Amino acid sequence: MDAYNPRTVEEVFRDFKGCRARMIKAPTINVGEFFQQCDPEKENLCLYGFPSEQWEVNLPAEEVPPELPEPALGINFARDGMQERDWLSLIAVHSDTWLLSVAFYFGARFGFYKTDRERLFNMINDLPTIFEVVTGAANKALKLRPNIQKQCHHRMRLMMVSMRKIRMSMERHYVGLVGRIMQVINSGFAVISVRNGSMEHV
């Protein structure tokens, strides 16, 4: 990659989204193939995702220090020592961490200002994490959201009905009170009690 080639927030986010989409496939759609490739008998392996390619399980870069941040090392060693679900969740967490580190590596390398970094973070944060997708947390949130909205609407409806009943009751009370006061006033025999301010017959 040309060090002097300017990069924008949109380009970094596009690459992030492409890598994320590929890496999601490994522990979900292609989980069987991914499981086989992560052989504990092999050397330290990493899960890579590329914007224009598929995911890849491979050895880390030999260059020290590497040009780009490297993903978690040795993901294959824990494969048979954990429940498959827990192992895949762990891979997902490390994948999220790696993608964020790469995105903000480019942010630093290409001199993004504070507002650019905030915009990049917000664009990334609008997407579910790989961990959420793998564990189903994102789908659960989407399913719960309509139920929460229904509950809120139901509570609002009950509150409005209750307030309407209270208002009608108060209106009937004041209408009756005004009616009684007007009867007393119209009769011409009314004084104001100094003790409690009520209208009484003389």
**What pLDDT is attached to residue 3?**
44
**What pLDDT is attached to residue 37?**
96
pLDDT digits (tens, 9 = 90+) for 122-144: 999 999 999 999 999 656 655 65
Task: Read off the pTM.
Answer: 0.65
Higher confidence at residue 51 or residue 1?
Answer: 51
**What pLDDT is attached to residue 107?**
93
- Tokens 């590497």 appear where? 66
Q: Taken in order 85, 87, 90, 91, is the CA torsion positive or negative? A: negative
User: How many Cβ atoms from other residues are within 10 Å of residue 70's Cβ?
Assistant: 16
- Tokens 């009684």 appear where? 180
User: How many Cβ atoms from other residues are within 10 Å of residue 6's Cβ?
Assistant: 8
**What pLDDT is attached to residue 61?**
84
The length of the chain is: 202
* Secondary-structure breakdown of the chain: helix, strand, coil percentages, each rounded to the nearest 5: 60, 5, 35
Structure letter (DSSP) for residue 127: S
pLDDT digits (tens, 9 = 90+) for 162-192: 556 656 666 565 556 556 655 655 665 444 4
- Is-contact 95 47, C-beta < 8 A? yes
**What pLDDT is attached to residue 82?**
92
The DSSP bridge partners found for residue 48 are: 56
**What pLDDT is attached to residue 153?**
57
pLDDT digits (tens, 9 = 90+) for 65-123: 788 899 999 999 999 999 999 999 999 999 999 999 999 999 999 999 999 999 999 99
Q: What are the C-alpha distances in Å from 99 to residues 71, 139, 173, 196?
A: 8, 21, 67, 75
pLDDT digits (tens, 9 = 90+) for 22-62: 999 999 999 999 999 999 999 999 999 998 768 999 999 88
